[in-house]
């Protein structure tokens, strides 16, 4: 490691979201009342791109917080507003909150975006964008995907897609194109201008079994086409499929991450692309580690890939012994510092780590 | 404004008459810096309480503070050395958990606060009302200090510092790793590391850390400890060994604190030696003496490093560099490129505050804070989790807190015996309701039986009797109905005395049942059920039982 910080949150989080001003947001997902949503100011070492020689402060500061009655499974800031949106069980509705750090340190609950709740629906996956107005894309199932204008709560788009598959994740490619990843592994491309049908459906990389899938997308640089960035799909068995949206008939690459078996379920599967390093991605959710891979050397054979770096810190943090080893619930990359990641685990730990490129690689 | 405005306490009259005592929580200057001004210049002759280590260390810091302000900065209207001495004469030192009677009504007790050597939280009690003031405290044990601790004293009010409540601290392991890494890097490139220390705790902690690291990494660079430090530190340790945590106590007993393999005594000539080294020197704030001398020699070289203890008084070089100044003027010469690392002193974070509240169980909480709008979240958190009121007054604002005083009540032995005889004895998990009469007479409260109360008050007892009519469909003669009722009740109420009296009425214990025919309808019989207030429960039960009707099979 070049640098390592370990923190202990009062309650574990399963989300780490970046906000304006390099703020970080975490939230509790406990079953009882009183889950806290915390917007944090990272220590000065993380606020700047360059690692300063010596910095007096190594602590996070809570800038503001809110209380949620339901567990918070997903949270997204709404760009160009002071709002954020959360979702969580027991249904697929969304909660809208207001953050006004200058006036008060309380994140206030503002409104709810209700959804039609059929039976057997789980919590909604969300994505936000600032298009003609601030929009939130949400849904728990393929046939229930919609876009709602956050402030007016008006419905802007409802997909009339067939299929009741549960969604793993969803994303805006731009204000017209949506990317939906089903838990079965199927990737769907939809256009808001054509709600009746899908633009494209990319099948799952392997025959359907009890695997669960999620995806990671990378933001294109200003000016370049959104679909030029490869999409990564991760399964609960450790399979990683990279797809180029311009050429979906074949895989860009296929590999297998080294994961313990039997797997620990698909609850916290997380795959993300490094924003500042080309071709690097990170994977977590199988145990108490986070793996970093360089995908540039991958082919489509599906063989096991060797991680460039493994963060094991969460395993050593806990009390040890009697309790179950902690499971990494989420990870995210620092937006500017190329090799810095943040990861959280089920024991409430929050780590910030800056890994060193191993020797022999340029 | 250099000192607090003490006219907030009282506008008129002497402070000595108005105040019962003054309490100092620990030796940091933001908690004791105005004490000699207050007692000798504003005027206060009453008792001043603090713990033993605080009493030993305060005068040293106050004198340092005076020297910097008067001699170096030329301030007038400041307290003198004699004033510090006179002030300390008014100090009464207290032990932890020792109840100190300030006067017939007021008592105080000190609790361990962690934070720095000698820091204490104070419980202040008058009768059954109490307040706990925490001062600065820390809930995570250190290498050399334990964690703060309060018993379940249930004060009416807990006053706690909340400025650091928003901090989520990096783990100790990572801080130490970072510290060692930076020392290592400096030494590897031939630089020198200066660590100014006050004398206690911090120095030893860092020494142990470095010694272990040096051993493990097989490092050769020398580590020095200035001798003035050794004497002072040893002296304080012997006096206050009970104030440090278990580990240090054990270490001290096993070996002299400064018998380190890699750490040697310092000589000022060494500062000019070429090559890497680490030096611990006093004083801690870099305002005078050896540490300042060394600093002057080394600060200009960017290969060198200074590690600050994190607390320095305004005006000192230490304070300047902590506030980020990299260019300092020292007697006309400019010095550039000060690189530094800070080891902050631990304060309570949000988790720590919640822990303390959980331990003490106060009825109300008051937050001493920086800015009100930054404390709203913590206030809500405390109110939601503990269901207590939380206040955050600004300077000059008065907060009124309602307390629930405890009033002792004596219970008469006769009543106690009688209630215990009825039914099962109450236990800790199943309290039982008992009935009595509360008499408030001559400033005393007693719980007695109603009969005794009536007697004492000279009141006549009233009898309350309830009568209820239950209609029963039964075309037979009255006395047959009565017989049916009697047999039915005898069968159901096996534990009670059910009797059929010669005059045609039924009694269940002392409850009377009589039957008459309905005036308009021969097929209906009216049962009159009558009972006294004392038999209310049985009476109601009987009535509802009878309302259900009689079983057909009864003859």
If pLDDT is split at 50, 70 and 90, which confidence band does B382 have? very high
Is the pLDDT at A77 greater than 90? The verdict is yes
| B322 and B194 within one domain | yes
Nearest beta carbon to residue A9 from set B168, B177, B344: B168
Which residues lie across from A252 on neighbouring strands?
none
If pLDDT is split at 50, 70 and 90, which confidence band does B327 have? low
B337 is catalytic: no
Dihedral sign from CA coordinates of B484, B489, B492, B496: negative
Please report whether residue B160 resides in a domain. yes
Average pLDDT over residues B523-549: 88
CATH number at residue B266: 3.40.50.10890
Average pLDDT over residues B31-36: 93
Contact residues on chain A for B377, CB-CB shorter than 8 A: 62, 64-66, 105-106
Helices (H) and strands (E) in chain A, counts: 2, 28
Helix B52-66 / helix B81-89 crossing angle, nearest 10 deg? 160
* pLDDT attached to residue A142: 85
Is the pLDDT at B145 greater than 80? The verdict is no
Dihedral sign from CA coordinates of B442, B445, B449, B450: positive
Average pLDDT over residues A5-13: 90
A-interface mutation test, from B162, B174, B312, most A Cβ less than 10 A away = B174
If pLDDT is split at 50, 70 and 90, which confidence band does A362 have? very low
Is the pLDDT at A56 greater than 60? The verdict is no
If pLDDT is split at 50, 70 and 90, which confidence band does A123 have? confident
CATH code of A10-49+56-269, in short, is 2.130.10.10
In whole angstroms, give the CA distance from residue B244 to residue B142. Answer: 10
* pLDDT attached to residue A293: 93
String of b and e for A135-147 (b: at least 16 CB within 10 Å)? bbbbbbbbebbbb
**Beta-carbon contacts of residue A83 (< 8 Å; ≥ 6 apart):** A77, A96, A97, A98, A99, A110, A134, A150, A151
> Of the residues B40, B107, B129, B161, which is catalytic?
B161
Domain ranges of chain A: 10-49+56-269
- Please indicate whether, in this complex, the C-beta atoms of A104 and B171 are within 8 angstroms of each other: no
* pLDDT attached to residue A53: 41
Is the pLDDT at A50 greater than 60? The verdict is no
- Please indicate whether, in this complex, the C-beta atoms of A6 and B385 are within 8 angstroms of each other: no
Question: Is the model more confident about B83 or about B321?
Answer: B83
| B177 and B263 within one domain | yes
Is the pLDDT at B240 greater than 80? The verdict is no
If pLDDT is split at 50, 70 and 90, which confidence band does A51 have? very low
Please report whether residue B3 resides in a domain. no
Range 359-398 of B in CB contact (< 8 A) with A: 373-377, 380-381, 384-385
Write out the two tokens for A276. 């500042």
| B380 and B323 within one domain | no
| B336 and B445 within one domain | no
Digit-coded pLDDT (tens) for B272-297: 888 899 988 877 677 677 788 888 88
| B158 and B30 within one domain | yes
A-interface mutation test, from B195, B352, B377, most A Cβ less than 10 A away = B377
A-interface mutation test, from B164, B166, B318, most A Cβ less than 10 A away = B166
- Please indicate whether, in this complex, the C-beta atoms of A7 and B170 are within 8 angstroms of each other: yes
Which residues lie across from B295 on neighbouring strands?
none
Place of tokens 């309650």: A11
Instruction: Determine the distance in angstroms separating the CA of A158 from the nearest CA of chain B, rounded to an integer.
Output: 37
**Residue A3 phi, psi (nearest 5):** -150, 150
Average pLDDT over residues B73-90: 89
A-to-B residue pairs, Cβ atoms closer than 8 angstroms: 81
* pLDDT attached to residue B225: 81
- What does DSSP assign to residue B285? T
* pLDDT attached to residue B355: 92
CATH number at residue B489: 3.30.530.50
Determine the residue of chain A that is closest to B321 in CA distance: A56
In whole angstroms, give the CA distance from residue A319 to residue A170. Answer: 36
The 10 Å Cβ neighbour count of residue B244 is 21
- Please indicate whether, in this complex, the C-beta atoms of A61 and B166 are within 8 angstroms of each other: yes
- The helix or strand, by DSSP H or E, that contains position A89, with its residue range, turns out to be none
Which is nearest to B162 in space by CA: B3, B381, B340, B447? B381
Is the pLDDT at A52 greater than 90? The verdict is no
Please report whether residue B92 resides in a domain. yes
Is the pLDDT at A91 greater than 60? The verdict is yes
DSSP-based three-state secondary structure for B141: coil
Determine the residue of chain B that is closest to A103 in CA distance: B373
- Please indicate whether, in this complex, the C-beta atoms of A105 and B339 are within 8 angstroms of each other: no
- Please indicate whether, in this complex, the C-beta atoms of B377 and A5 are within 8 angstroms of each other: no
- Please indicate whether, in this complex, the C-beta atoms of A59 and B167 are within 8 angstroms of each other: yes
Instruction: Determine the distance in angstroms separating the CA of A111 from the nearest CA of chain B, rounded to an integer.
Output: 19
Question: Is the model more confident about A308 or about A51?
Answer: A308
**Beta-carbon contacts of residue B62 (< 8 Å; ≥ 6 apart):** B29, B32, B33, B35, B36, B79, B84
String of b and e for B291-326 (b: at least 16 CB within 10 Å)? bbebbbebbeeeebbbbbbbbbbebbbbbbbbeeee
Determine the residue of chain A that is closest to B183 in CA distance: A54
Pairing of strands A231-235, B263-265: unpaired
Write out the two tokens for B235. 């002296």
Q: Tell me the pLDDT of chain A averaged across its residues.
A: 84
- Please indicate whether, in this complex, the C-beta atoms of A34 and B351 are within 8 angstroms of each other: no
* pLDDT attached to residue B427: 73
Contact residues on chain B for A66, CB-CB shorter than 8 A: 377
| B161 and B103 within one domain | yes
In whole angstroms, give the CA distance from residue A91 to residue A183. Answer: 18
* pLDDT attached to residue A349: 92
| B201 and B110 within one domain | no
Q: Which domain holds residue B507?
A: 465-548
Which is nearest to A128 in space by CA: A224, A268, A17? A17
| B369 and B241 within one domain | no
**Beta-carbon contacts of residue A23 (< 8 Å; ≥ 6 apart):** A39, A40, A41, A42, A63
Contact residues on chain A for B354, CB-CB shorter than 8 A: 10
| B333 and B205 within one domain | yes
Question: Is the model more confident about A200 or about A152?
Answer: A152
Question: Is the model more confident about A59 or about B85?
Answer: B85
Contact residues on chain B for A7, CB-CB shorter than 8 A: 168-171
Average pLDDT over residues B480-501: 87
For chain B, the domain total comes to: 4
Write out the two tokens for A179. 């990317």
| B234 and B179 within one domain | yes
| Across A218-222, A315-319, B103-107, B267-271, least confident range | A315-319
pTM: 0.76
B303 lies within 8 A of chain A by CB: no
H helices present in A21-67, as ranges: 44-47
- Please indicate whether, in this complex, the C-beta atoms of B377 and A40 are within 8 angstroms of each other: no
Is the pLDDT at B343 greater than 90? The verdict is no
Nearest beta carbon to residue A67 from set B165, B171, B384: B384
In whole angstroms, give the CA distance from residue A285 to residue B530. Answer: 74
Q: Tell me the pLDDT of chain B averaged across its residues.
A: 83
B-interface mutation test, from A39, A58, A353, most B Cβ less than 10 A away = A58
Digit-coded pLDDT (tens) for B89-143: 999 999 999 999 999 999 999 999 988 888 999 999 998 899 999 998 888 877 6
Please report whether residue B4 resides in a domain. no
If pLDDT is split at 50, 70 and 90, which confidence band does A361 have? very low
Is the pLDDT at A122 greater than 90? The verdict is no
């Amino acid at each position: 490691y070049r640098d390592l910080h370990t923190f202990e949150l009062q309650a574990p989080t399963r989300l780490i979201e970046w906000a304006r001003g390099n703020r970080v947001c975490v939230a509790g997902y406990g079953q009882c009342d009183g889950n806290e949503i915390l917007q944090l100011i990272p220590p000065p070492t993380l606020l700047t791109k360059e690692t300063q020689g010596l910095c007096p402060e190594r602590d996070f500061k809570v800038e503001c917080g809110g209380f949620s009655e339901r567990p918070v499974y997903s949270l997204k800031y709404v760009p160009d507003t002071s709002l954020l949106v959360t979702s969580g069980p027991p249904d697929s509705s969304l909660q809208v909150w207001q953050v006004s750090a200058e006036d008060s340190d309380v994140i206030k609950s503002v409104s709810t975006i209700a959804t039609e709740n059929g039976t057997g629906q789980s919590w909604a996956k969300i994505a936000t964008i600032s298009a003609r107005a601030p929009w939130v894309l949400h849904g728990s199932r393929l046939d229930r995907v919609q876009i709602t204008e956050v402030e007016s709560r008006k419905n802007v788009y409802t997909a009339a897609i067939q299929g009741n598959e549960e969604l793993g994740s969803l994303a805006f490619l731009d204000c017209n194109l949506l990317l939906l990843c089903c838990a079965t592994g199927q990737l769907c491309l939809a256009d808001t201008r054509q709600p009746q049908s899908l633009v494209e459906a990319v099948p799952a990389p392997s025959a359907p079994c009890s695997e669960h899938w999620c995806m990671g997308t990378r933001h294109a640089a200003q000016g370049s086409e959104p679909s030029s960035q490869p999409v990564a799909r991760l399964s609960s068995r450790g399979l990683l499929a990279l797809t180029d949206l311009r050429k979906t008939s074949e895989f860009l690459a296929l590999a297998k991450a080294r994961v313990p078996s039997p797997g620990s379920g698909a609850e916290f599967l997380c795959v993300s692309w490094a924003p500042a390093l080309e071709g690097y991605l990170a994977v977590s959710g199988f145990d108490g580690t986070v793996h970093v891979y360089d995908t540039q050397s991958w082919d489509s054979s599906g063989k096991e890939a060797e991680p460039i770096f493994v963060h094991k810190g969460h395993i050593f943090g806990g009390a040890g012994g009697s309790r179950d080893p902690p499971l990494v619930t989420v990870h995210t990359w620092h937006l500017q510092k190329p090799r810095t990641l943040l990861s959280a685990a089920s024991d409430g730990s929050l780590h910030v780590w800056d890994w060193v490129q191993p020797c022999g690689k340029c | 404004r250099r000192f607090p405005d003490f006219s907030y306490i009282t506008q008129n009259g002497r402070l000595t008459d108005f105040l019962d005592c003054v309490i100092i929580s620990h030796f940091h200057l933001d908690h004791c810096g105005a004490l000699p001004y207050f007692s000798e210049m504003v005027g206060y002759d009453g008792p001043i309480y603090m713990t033993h280590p605080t009493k030993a260390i305060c005068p040293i810091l106050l004198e340092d503070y005076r020297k910097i302000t008067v001699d170096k900065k030329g301030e007038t209207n400041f307290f003198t050395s004699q004033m510090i001495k006179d002030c300390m004469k008014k100090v009464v030192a207290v032990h932890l958990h020792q109840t100190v009677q300030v006067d017939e009504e007021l008592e105080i007790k000190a609790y361990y606060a962690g934070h720095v050597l000698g820091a204490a939280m104070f419980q202040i009690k008058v009768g059954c009302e109490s307040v706990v003031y925490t001062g600065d405290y820390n809930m995570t044990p250190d290498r050399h200090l334990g964690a703060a601790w309060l018993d379940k004293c249930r004060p009416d009010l807990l006053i706690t510092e909340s400025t650091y409540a928003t901090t989520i601290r990096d783990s100790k392991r990572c801080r130490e790793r970072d510290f060692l890494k930076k020392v290592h890097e400096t030494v590897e490139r031939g630089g020198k590391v200066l660590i100014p220390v006050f004398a206690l705790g911090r120095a030893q902690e860092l020494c142990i850390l470095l010694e272990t690291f040096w051993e493990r990494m097989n490092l050769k660079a020398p580590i020095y400890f200035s001798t003035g430090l050794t004497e002072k530190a040893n002296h304080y340790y012997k006096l206050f060994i009970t104030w440090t945590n278990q580990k240090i106590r054990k270490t001290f007993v096993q070996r002299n604190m400064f018998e380190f393999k890699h750490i040697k005594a310092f000589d000022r000539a060494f500062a000019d030696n070429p090559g890497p080294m680490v030096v611990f020197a006093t004083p801690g704030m870099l305002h005078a003496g050896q540490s300042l001398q060394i600093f002057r020699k080394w600060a200009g070289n960017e290969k060198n490093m200074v590690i600050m203890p994190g607390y320095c008084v305004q005006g000192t070089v230490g304070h300047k560099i902590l506030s980020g100044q990299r260019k300092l003027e020292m007697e006309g010469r400019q010095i550039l490129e000060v690189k530094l690392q800070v080891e902050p002193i631990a304060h309570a974070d949000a988790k720590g505050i919640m822990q303390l509240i959980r331990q003490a169980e106060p009825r109300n909480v008051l937050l001493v804070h920086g800015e009100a709008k930054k404390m709203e979240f913590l206030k809500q958190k405390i109110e939601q989790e503990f269901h207590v009121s939380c206040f955050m007054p600004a300077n000059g604002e008065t907060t009124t807190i309602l307390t629930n005083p405890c009033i002792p009540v004596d219970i008469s032995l006769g009543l106690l015996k009688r209630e215990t005889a009825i039914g099962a004895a109450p236990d800790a998990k199943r309290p039982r309701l008992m009935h009595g009469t509360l008499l408030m007479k001559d400033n005393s409260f007693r719980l007695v039986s109603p009969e005794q109360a009536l007697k004492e008050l000279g009141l006549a007892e009233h009898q309350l009797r309830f009568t209820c009519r239950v209609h029963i469909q039964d075309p037979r003669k009255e006395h047959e109905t009565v017989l049916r009722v009697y047999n039915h009740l005898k069968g159901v109420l096996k534990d009670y005395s059910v009797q059929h009296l010669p005059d045609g009425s039924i009694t269940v214990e002392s409850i009377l049942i009589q039957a008459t025919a309905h005036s308009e309808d021969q097929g209906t019989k009216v049962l009159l059920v009558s009972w006294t207030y004392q038999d209310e429960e049985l009476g109601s039960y009987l009535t509802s039982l009878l309302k259900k009707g009689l079983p057909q099979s009864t003859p």
